[in-house]
Amino acid sequence: MTETTNDKQCNTINAAKPIHLDWQNIHTVFLDMDGTLLDLHFDNYFWLEYMPVQYAHKHHISIEQAKKRLTELYHEMEGTLDWYCLDHWQQKLDMDIVALKHQVADKIAIRANVQRFLDAVNSKNNRVILLTNAHRKTVELKFSYTRIENSFDRIITSHDLGLAKEQAGFWDRLQTVEPYEPEHTLFIDDNMEVLAEAERHGIAHLLTIQQPDSQQPPNNTRHYTAIECFSQLLI
């Protein structure tokens, strides 16, 4: 994978101060994918830059018109399960989203030190679960380029449960298919609304990502402890 701007910073700043976690009291680790383990730049570029060009070409309109139309459609679905559903967008836009994503897959990138972190977490005998809003087809596409699937005991997408992670009831529904103890659970995600829902449900250990998209400014991470580089967790 190509080294991202985030990777270069991560490897030169001596990776900020360590983030200490009480690993003896953590039994389950839930990890988000896009913006957390993987650089969000691919997704932002695809939906905000590449898709408008393809949509404009298909409908014989200007790129500016395409961006306006797509932005309206995106906002209508934001925060819902359909927002993350490739089948929804393929039908809505009448475009082969998966094929288009493969065309720019060179932008898919694992964040620096993520594989080292995954190896370390697995060595602690925790149950490690990928917990993502991404559609199953997106997960499979990302795995085909990153090869990180073997680092997880289980892969769960919100589409399996019928609720997006930021929606009320998600954590209760998750409990029925993947039992966990909130007080012994670590969850890392770059979405503040998702973390807020996890916090309301009592998830004890919550971390977020300082800069989900390596090409964009850092997030407002509210009161959540933010990871600048996954080497901060390698202690």
pLDDT in tens, the chain (235 residues): 444 445 555 755 455 799 999 999 999 999 999 999 999 999 999 999 999 999 999 999 999 999 999 999 999 998 899 999 999 999 999 999 999 999 999 999 999 999 999 999 999 989 999 999 999 999 999 999 999 999 999 999 999 999 999 999 999 999 999 999 999 999 999 999 999 999 999 999 999 999 999 999 999 999 999 999 999 999 6
Q: How many Å apart are CA 224 and CA 196, to the nearest integer?
A: 9
Residues 160, 43, 193, 22, CA torsion sign: positive
Amino acid at 177: V
Instruction: Tell me what pLDDT residue 3 has.
Output: 44
Instruction: Tell me what pLDDT residue 9 has.
Output: 57
> What's the start-to-end Cα distance of the chain, in Å?
25
pTM: 0.94
Q: How many Å apart are CA 128 and CA 30, to the nearest integer?
A: 6
Token duo for residue 14 = 């001596």
Instruction: Tell me what pLDDT residue 235 has.
Output: 66
Count CB neighbours of 143 within 10 A: 16
Q: How many Å apart are CA 184 and CA 87, to the nearest integer?
A: 35
Instruction: Tell me what pLDDT residue 227 has.
Output: 98
Instruction: Tell me what pLDDT residue 16 has.
Output: 76
Q: How many Å apart are CA 55 and CA 51, to the nearest integer?
A: 6
| DSSP secondary structure letter of residue 164 | -
Lookup result for tokens 């699937």? 149
